[in-house]
Amino acid sequence: MFIENIPALENSKSPSLEVCLTPALLSLYNVENYIVVIIDIFRATSSICYGIENGAEAIIPVAQVEECVAYREKGTGYLLAAERDGSVVDGFDFGNSPFSYTAEKVSGKTVVLTTTNGTQALHLSRKAKKVVIGSFLNLTALSNWLKVQNENILLVCAGWKNNFNLEDTAFAGAVIDQLKASGQYTLDDPAIAAYDLYQLAKGDIPAYLSKTSHGERMRKLGIEKDIAFCLNVDITTAIPILDGEKLVKLV
């Protein structure tokens, strides 16, 4: 572009509804002006939503396996979740499959889990007004809560190795699809794109996402069942929210 110094969404009085397509672009936003929704559909934020729904007292996301191990020394109250190359890391309680986050396993417990992109997105978003977790599992509950906040909303896609991915963007579009009807928001270009992509996906989300390079990687790792589970819409109502280092239940 030739033109400089024109702020995005200038002069708009309605709250803005924007999408940050990867954590690598998060520095372009003043996160303190937004409620941030972290999105990492395969599989971090889906597992988190499922775990909080199933009564986990808290979930603590960390970047490295080593940080996870450090919690072992803090006491016996922690369940440690870590996975590398599709297998549970030796000595950990479970891996990163959402099926590990059943009530039987996590109720009343604090789970420490390693994620990569999801953790980075969370860390970079700490100064936001609020940081909540989104997945297809809690789509409508999350959207209904967002609707009544009357705040700027930034949907942050964790992406894939700091780049754009289709599944996180499609979910951002699903949230926009629910919020847009109220007509109160100003959308930025990434939000318009996410919304449009979701219109293509919504009739059959698994089919739409199966064409991605990502889908192929998942199949090779043998976690098709996890992927299918993460695309279940509205099977939970809990909204995990960041409280210090921990994700806890907001509603």
Q: Give contact residues for a copy of itself (rule: CB under 8 A).
A: 1-6, 8-10, 21-22, 24-25, 28, 40, 42-44, 83-86, 96, 114-118, 158-166, 169, 186-190, 192-193, 196-197, 200, 211-214, 217, 221
Pairing of strands 78-81, 130-134: unpaired
Query: Shortest gap between Cβ of 159 and a copy of itself (angstroms)?
Result: 8
* C-beta of residue 35 within 8 angstroms of C-beta of residue 129: yes
**Residue 11 vs 76, nearer CB to a copy of itself:** 11
Cβ closer to a copy of itself: 88 or 250?
88
Length of the chain: 251
The CB-of-17 to a copy of itself minimum distance in angstroms stands at 12
CA 105 to CA 53: how far, in whole Å?
Answer: 12
Rounded Cα distance between 39 and 169, Å, is 8
Residue 196 or 245: the one with the smaller Cβ distance to a copy of itself is: 196
Nearest to a copy of itself of 60, 250 (CB atom): 60
Shortest CB 125 distance to a copy of itself, Å: 17
State the minimum distance, in angstroms, from the CB of residue 83 to a copy of itself.
Answer: 6
